[in-house]
Structure 1
Amino acid sequence: MAQRIKTVLDVARSKGFRSGENPVTAIKDAQVLPKVKAKVKHHKAMHWKDVPAFYADLKTRPAMAAKALMFTCLTGSRTGEVLGLRWAELDFQARLWVCPAERMKGGEDHRVPLTEEMLAILEPLKAMQSEYVFEGQKRNKPLSNMAMLMLLRRMSVEGVTVHGFRSTFRDWASEVANARREVAEMSLAHQVGSDVERAYARSDLLDKRRALMEQWTKFAAGHQA
């Protein structure tokens, strides 16, 4: 708002409607106005202890939204990354999903290790022969970005967002798996360290992240206590 006022007053001065310095500039330089900090919006997350029962319920549901939500929970990926997933991004032999930079929030390619449980979700969907892995109601179009959230509501899972499962995974990684911070953060495609540190960090810790995702998948899918 202050920038808009400043612009209006500058234009007025240039047209001869006013004279003198712009008062907005003087106020900003004096730093007399309180700084307003935007509140961080936290996505409500399911407690990691509740994930196995929730995942077991999801596995009984045939809807495409359930398949997408299962995959989202296991990979810790963002909603848009999962819904925009194309078959060309998957390497089944290497058990790897490479989400391209243009679809990533950080603007860099992100490699996601695929576990047996993840592959079991994906394999049957090949038969649809769609461009998108998780096809919506329209042919060769992805699911709606509200599909998974609406599924949560139909399951009577209140106070939880799809994005919140990233926090669920992060809490589990810290509290249960005792994962190194950089491994857990990279699993979520978060940037770790300063610009200089990242410049020298040549590895995305794929092998360590694969081990962590294997452990998380076994827990979520109820294969271990």
Structure 2
Amino acid sequence: MALTGKLTKKLVENLGAGRHGDGGGLYLVVDPSGARRWIVRVVVKGQKNLKGAPLRTDFGLGGADVVSLNQARERALEYRRMAKQGLNPRFNASREIPCFEEVARQVHIDRMPTWKNDKHGAQWINTLRDYAFPKIGRMPIDSIGQPEVLMCLSPIWTAKHETARRLAQRIKIVLDVAKSKGFRSGENPVTAIHDLQVLPKVKAKPKHHKAMRWQEVPAFYADLRTRDAMAARALMFTSLTGSRTGEVLGMRWEELDFDAGFWACPAVRMKGGELHRVPLTEEMLAIIQPLRAMQSEYVFEGQKRHNPLSNMAMLMLLRRMQVEGVTVHGFRSTFRDWASEVANAPREVAEMSLSHKVGSDVERAYARSDLLEKRRGLMERWSNFVCGTETETQDLNKIG
């Protein structure tokens, strides 16, 4: 039973989806998502399955990112030796307690299909990589208690509170998974730290995106209208809709219903994870209708064919226009201020226009309408104001 086989380190890193044999019952399984894990198949001597055939069983040996090729071969050899002696590895294999980093990376792999996007998945593991692995990464998962968790959280609890809060959540998940697999017992130390209020209370400071005053928008928009760049078209549409950058730049033609007069941004691109309908005004249509002639997959096409505009394009345009102290996202705040101070819009109409959730979970369960037509009236007034064509003051509380 030699510790050699068909696979190499390079093959392990680059093979495509499927089951790839190393020999001796050891396989590298590559999922369509790219996740890689080891399994070993053995036949236990003298034992039969329920159908009377030789007992053939597969055992997982861990992810290929934490279990090397040689380690997998060593474990596979151990399992084959036991099976040859008539011992079922499921009950006789010596269980090594994995370290925190091994469990964390496996949890990350297992949850890949659930990430909202690749960036979210990367942020999840990178937080642990930067703040937990250097201190507790190589520690056995069953030896981590409150002191070890505090070693990770305390240095950044006040200086980087939001990061520390997310770090605590992710450490808790890793430890919970380890307990479910039998590697730990007892209460999760993250829960105990929270319940006992070991760490000081930190009052979170809200982060505000720098926004343009609503009084300045008509002049700014008039300047945008003189520019032919695709970034200018996208920024005009963004400022009129109050949408987020990623929602606008990812917009495809099939999301637009010109007959019903709205854009349906899919849930996958929405921060709240729910489809959001945006009423289309005449000015919005005037921006996007001419772009259909480009026959691109995306409404706002970038430099590469059938690819969206860069997410930095609109911000760089602001800089070229020498508009300082303003962000693209800030136009959402600009619209919200105008809706309250000028349009006197009902709160639920203004908030829903920005795809914000309104009310408690119970209230939302009974509120089936997204107030599309009421929001259409508000967006039409906003478009008219931005374009300098609003001629009368209207109280939106009286609409509908």
Q: How does the TM-score come out when normalised to structure 1?
A: 0.89
In 2, Cα distance between equivalents of 1:167 and 1:131: 30
Aligned pairs for 1:66-215 within 5 A: 66-215=232-381
Q: 2:201 aligns with which of 32, 35, 40?
A: 35
In 2, Cα distance between equivalents of 1:87 and 1:13: 52
How far did 1:32 drift?
3.8
Judged with a 3 Å threshold, the aligned counterparts in structure 2 of structure 1 residues 141 and 24 are, in CA distance, closer, same or farther, namely closer
Q: Which amino acid aligns with 1:177?
A: A
Q: Is the CA contact (8 Å cut-off) linking 1:10 and 1:22 kept in structure 2?
A: no
In 2, Cα distance between equivalents of 1:153 and 1:204: 36
The answer to whether 1:11 aligns with 2:177 is no
Structure 1 residue matching 2:223: 3-state secondary structure = helix
Q: Which amino acid aligns with 1:12?
A: S
- Rg larger for: 2
Q: Which amino acid aligns with 2:356?
A: H
Partner deviation per Cα, 1:171-221 (whole Å, 9 max, x = no partner)? 000000000000000000000000000000011001100000000000001
Partner deviation per Cα, 1:91-150 (whole Å, 9 max, x = no partner)? 111111011111111111111000000000011101100000000000000000000000
How far did 1:38 drift?
3.8
Judged with a 3 Å threshold, the aligned counterparts in structure 2 of structure 1 residues 181 and 23 are, in CA distance, closer, same or farther, namely closer
In 1, Cα distance between equivalents of 2:383 and 2:188: 60
Match of 2:45 in 1: none
How far did 1:40 drift?
2.2
Moved more, 207-216 or 91-100: 91-100
Judged with a 3 Å threshold, the aligned counterparts in structure 2 of structure 1 residues 42 and 90 are, in CA distance, closer, same or farther, namely same
Q: Is the CA contact (8 Å cut-off) linking 1:56 and 1:221 kept in structure 2?
A: yes
In 1, Cα distance between equivalents of 2:189 and 2:271: 39
**Aligned sequence identity (%):** 78
Judged with a 3 Å threshold, the aligned counterparts in structure 2 of structure 1 residues 114 and 25 are, in CA distance, closer, same or farther, namely closer
Q: Which amino acid aligns with 2:248?
A: V
Moved more, 25-34 or 125-134: 25-34
In 2, Cα distance between equivalents of 1:41 and 1:182: 22
Q: Which has the higher strand share?
A: 2
Q: Is the CA contact (8 Å cut-off) linking 1:68 and 1:83 kept in structure 2?
A: yes
Q: Which amino acid aligns with 2:229?
A: A
Q: Which amino acid aligns with 2:213?
A: H
Moved more, 24-33 or 78-87: 24-33
Structure 1 residue matching 2:364: 3-state secondary structure = helix
Match of 2:210 in 1: 44
Q: Which amino acid aligns with 2:354?
A: L
Moved more, 59-68 or 100-109: 100-109
Q: How does the TM-score come out when normalised to structure 2?
A: 0.51
Judged with a 3 Å threshold, the aligned counterparts in structure 2 of structure 1 residues 201 and 11 are, in CA distance, closer, same or farther, namely same
How far did 1:22 drift?
9.8
Point out where structure 1 has 5 or more consecutive residues left out of the alignment. Answer: 15-20
How far did 1:28 drift?
5.0
